[in-house]
Amino acid sequence: MKDQIDELAVFGGTPAFQEKLYVGRPNIGNREQILQRIADMLDRRWLSNNGLYVQDLEKRIAKLLDVKHCIAICNATVALEITSRALDLTGEVIVPSFTFIATAHALQWQEITPVFCDIDPVTHCLNPWRIESMITPRTTGIVGVHLWGHPCNTEALTEVASKHNLKLMFDASHAFGCSHNGTMIGNFGDAEVFSFHATKFINAFEGGAVVTNNDDLATKIRLMKNFGFAGYDNVTYIGVNGKMNEACAAMALTSLESLDEFTQINYRNYKCYQSELAGIPGLKLYAHDEAEKRNYQYIVVEMEESVTQVSRDQIVKILHAENVMARRYFYPGCHRMEPYRSYFPHAGLLLPETERLTERVLVLPTGTAIDESDIRLICKILRFVLAHGISIRKQLQSALKPAHFAENQGEFQCTKH
């Protein structure tokens, strides 16, 4: 453990961890089972095109979530694109800016304009009370994001969508296995989209799924994800290749069989962080509702720089030097990324909570790749840094000055020549 500021790795000390601890390092599940499934797949030589594993995966997910339809897709971004088109979204669609860029890109890719709405500062999800002021004659839908596995205010969003005759879909990439008022995520809006990317706690190497209780919409999505084929040599609708292959489905099934184990490990880690971070001034752990089903996939911390005296970005720099690869989600916000910052240069004026949160959020490692001793050491480093915040900040600023001066000199010389 670090006892002196100079022992921090960022100032030349030895890193606390020999190997890097990543946010979202993949959970593997039963290795023998996945290898057995892949061998079986190879023996059958059925590698794609609605194979047996894809069919089994869809049935299991639909049963688990108590929904009528699950359509496996090659990834969640394509799932968002297909669902947006299947819902006939056009013009403008209201979305949060505090989300992964794919939520906005899936719309813009189809020339649908994402209109960014602010978030609830407590839940970090779309603020339904801010939506009506952003609705125009061109608005056709709303996309909510269940962030960190916490559900949006589905009741309020449904009310707004119904009042204005808008389609409502949810990006549920963070929320597989979670519930809202006892109902599993997957049953809200017109459709919900899950991600089974490698970084998610249930993964398919790469994959996603659309779930819905709308029979006609499900039929349409199944056509669209397979080029519009409605039988052999019979194309009835425009479509793309959104199919999940059998290897990805085999991995998803194997992950699904370890869902309870992964959730228990995530919950253990969450409780350990909760205990170890308790009482640190200026630092707030995002609380999960333990009365509902949660996957506890994300350990999210908000930092108040005026109290900690060290910025979130400085903490990231310090932790990275110790091989703790903490992340700042979802910096700087979709509205500050291209092409949106060029389209809407003043969007930030309408997004004060989003702007504030992008500077405060820190996501820490969890999952099967770390244990409680790792967590305790991570938290000890945080406690030490925040206990010496002013001194560490000054030393960091001092250490950066020569490099900054040299960098500016280099720029000047290049310009001159």
Q: Which residues are catalytic?
A: 200
Rounded CA-CA distance 114/133 in Å is: 15
Give me 255's structure tokens. 């992950």
The H or E element spanning position 43 is helix 31-44
With a CB cutoff of 8 Å and minimum separation 6, the contacts of 308 are 281, 282, 283, 315, 386, 389
DSSP code of residue 294: -
With a CB cutoff of 8 Å and minimum separation 6, the contacts of 152 are 123, 125, 126, 128, 144, 145, 146, 170, 188
Report the sign of the C-alpha dihedral through residues 399, 404, 407, 413, in that order: negative
- DSSP-H helix ranges across 258-351: 259-277, 305-308, 312-321, 340-343
Give me 141's structure tokens. 């839908």
Q: Render 48-105 in DSSP notation, one character per residue.
A: SSS-HHHHHHHHHHHHHHT-SEEEEES-HHHHHHHHHHHTT--SEEEEESSS-HHHHH
Query: In 3-state terms, what secondary structure has residue 303?
Result: strand
Going by C-alpha positions, the residue among 103, 143, 121, 85 that lies closest to residue 355 is 121
Query: How long is the chain?
Result: 417
Angle at 187 between CA 181 and CA 191, to 5 degrees: 140
Query: In 3-state terms, what secondary structure has residue 302?
Result: strand
Burial of 388 (0-12, 13-18, 19+ CB in 10 A): middle
Q: How many CA atoms lie within 13 A of 303 on its CB side?
A: 24
Q: Where do the DSSP E strands lie in 182-263?
A: 183-184, 191-195, 208-212
